């Protein structure tokens, strides 16, 4: 995954947000040798790495999932990743793994995440680069990114290092997203995600009714359910506010490139999954996979 190497180089200079600065960074990113790494920046482990972008037919899909926190990006991105055989990379998971570690950034990160704020572009790109590098070593090709990019600066850096084929923008009413986030639970033992919320919203103001059944845990997980520290109502609303402020422009960024597929979730997984496969023209793939199972 040559994109990894380019990302690693770009990570060294990812803190400014202007387009000109981003263009400058891209130039610098492809010309810096390891010994020229700026002070304090991550080292460049891939000196002399390949700079060519792989055309789409030589690699697996490179997709981005956009949408408010809690909309269901993780659910659909992970299902598609299994169907297409590409890694699902959620930067929120990378951040949570880092929080669980005893690394030097863990305490500072926890404070930021628990307030619903974004961590710095530099930290997030470092975490993503490390994850891509690990995947590359295992022979992974392609990806579905979930939770990245979340700022225009991140989108510009990504654009400078690799090609994104498609951006799926999941949409759901904000009041429903809040209910869903407050219902989220994770099993402290097996790590599986569940949702206790039963969403049953009547049609109003021209908006369709929406029903989403809860995703209940099996009995053995029931007593081990945990709530994410950042799933309180105050933090959820703050994350939505920050999403609207920082990440809506990312939608515009990809809209201008004509890469966005807008998808209004019609309900829970049973209603939404077949419809998503239909709009992505992946029904045949699903049938083949089921037949082979």
Catalytic (active-site) positions? 73, 150, 184, 228, 239
> HSE (CB half, 13 Å, CA atoms) of 93?
14
Q: Which residue is nearest to ligand AMP (CB)?
A: 92
Q: CB-wise, 116 or 160, nearer to ligand AMP? A: 116
- Considering the rule CB under 6 A, would residue 10 count as an interface residue with ligand AMP? no
- Considering the rule CB under 6 A, would residue 150 count as an interface residue with ligand AMP? yes
**Residue 279 CB, nearest approach to ligand AMP (Å):** 23
Encoded tokens for 85: 């055989």
In contact, 173 and 201? CB cutoff 8 Å: yes
Encoded tokens for 15: 């803190």
- Considering the rule CB under 6 A, would residue 268 count as an interface residue with ligand AMP? no
Query: Taking contact as CB under 6 A, which single stretch among the options 22-30, 112-120, 195-203, 208-216 is the one that binds ligand AMP?
Result: 112-120
**Residue 291 CB, nearest approach to ligand AMP (Å):** 34
Q: Contacts with ligand AMP: how many residues (CB under 6 A)?
A: 17
Residue among 71, 111, 119 at smallest CA distance from 92? 119
Q: CB-wise, 154 or 277, nearer to ligand AMP? A: 154
- Considering the rule CB under 6 A, would residue 147 count as an interface residue with ligand AMP? yes
- Considering the rule CB under 6 A, would residue 113 count as an interface residue with ligand AMP? yes
**Residue 240 CB, nearest approach to ligand AMP (Å):** 11
* Binding-site string for ligand AMP from residue 23 to residue 62, where x marks contact by CB under 6 A and - marks none: ----------------------------------------
**Residue 115 CB, nearest approach to ligand AMP (Å):** 8
Query: Taking contact as CB under 6 A, which single stretch among the options 75-83, 144-152, 214-222, 262-270 is the one that binds ligand AMP?
Result: 144-152
3-class SS letters over the chain = CHHHHHHHHHHCCCCCCCHHHHHHHHHHHHHCCHHHCCCCCCCCCCCCCCCCCCCHHHCCCEEEEECCCCCCHHHHHHHHHHHHCCCEEEHHHHHHHHHHCCCCCHHHHHHHHHCCCCCCHHHHHHHHHHHHHHHHHCCCCCEEEECCCCCHHHHHHHHHHCCCCEEEEEECCHHHHHHHHHHEEEECCCCCEEECCCEEECCECCECCEEECCECCCHHHHCCEECCCCCCHHHHHHHHHHHHHHHHHHHHHHHHCCCEEEEECCCCHHHHHHHHHHHCCCHHHHHHHHHHC
- Considering the rule CB under 6 A, would residue 144 count as an interface residue with ligand AMP? no
- Considering the rule CB under 6 A, would residue 112 count as an interface residue with ligand AMP? yes
* Binding-site string for ligand AMP from residue 213 to residue 242, where x marks contact by CB under 6 A and - marks none: -----------------x--------x---
Residues that bind ligand AMP (CB under 6 A): 69, 91-92, 95, 112-113, 116-119, 124, 147-148, 150, 154, 230, 239
């Amino acid at each position: 995954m040559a994109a990894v190497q380019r990302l690693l180089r770009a990570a060294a200079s990812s803190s400014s947000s202007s387009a000109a600065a981003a263009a400058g960074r891209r130039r610098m990113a492809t010309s810096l040798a390891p010994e020229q790494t700026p002070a304090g920046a991550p080292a460049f482990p891939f000196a002399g790495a390949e700079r060519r972008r792989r055309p789409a037919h030589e690699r697996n899909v490179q997709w981005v999932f956009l949408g408010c926190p809690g909309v269901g990006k993780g659910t659909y991105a992970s299902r598609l990743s299994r169907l297409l055989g590409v890694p699902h990379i959620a930067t929120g998971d990378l951040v949570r793994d880092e929080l669980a570690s005893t690394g030097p950034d863990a305490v500072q990160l926890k404070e930021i995440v628990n307030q619903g704020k974004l961590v710095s572009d530099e930290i997030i790109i470092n975490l993503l680069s490390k994850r891509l590098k690990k995947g590359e070593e295992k022979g992974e090709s392609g990806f579905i990114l979930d939770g990245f990019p979340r700022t225009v600066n991140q989108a510009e850096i990504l654009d400078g290092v690799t090609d994104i084929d498609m951006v799926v923008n999941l949409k759901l009413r904000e009041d429903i997203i809040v209910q869903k986030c407050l219902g989220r639970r994770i099993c402290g033992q097996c790590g599986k995600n569940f949702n206790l919320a039963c969403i049953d919203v009547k049609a109003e103001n021209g908006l369709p009714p929406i029903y989403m059944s809860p995703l209940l845990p099996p009995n053995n997980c029931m007593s081990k359910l945990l709530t994410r520290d950042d799933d309180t109502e105050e933090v959820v609303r703050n994350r939505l506010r920050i999403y609207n402020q920082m990440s809506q422009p990312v939608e515009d960024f990809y809209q201008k490139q004509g890469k966005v597929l807008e998808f209004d979730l019609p309900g829970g997984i049973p209603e939404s999954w077949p419809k998503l496969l239909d709009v992505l023209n992946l029904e045949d793939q699903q049938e083949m996979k089921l037949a082979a199972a």
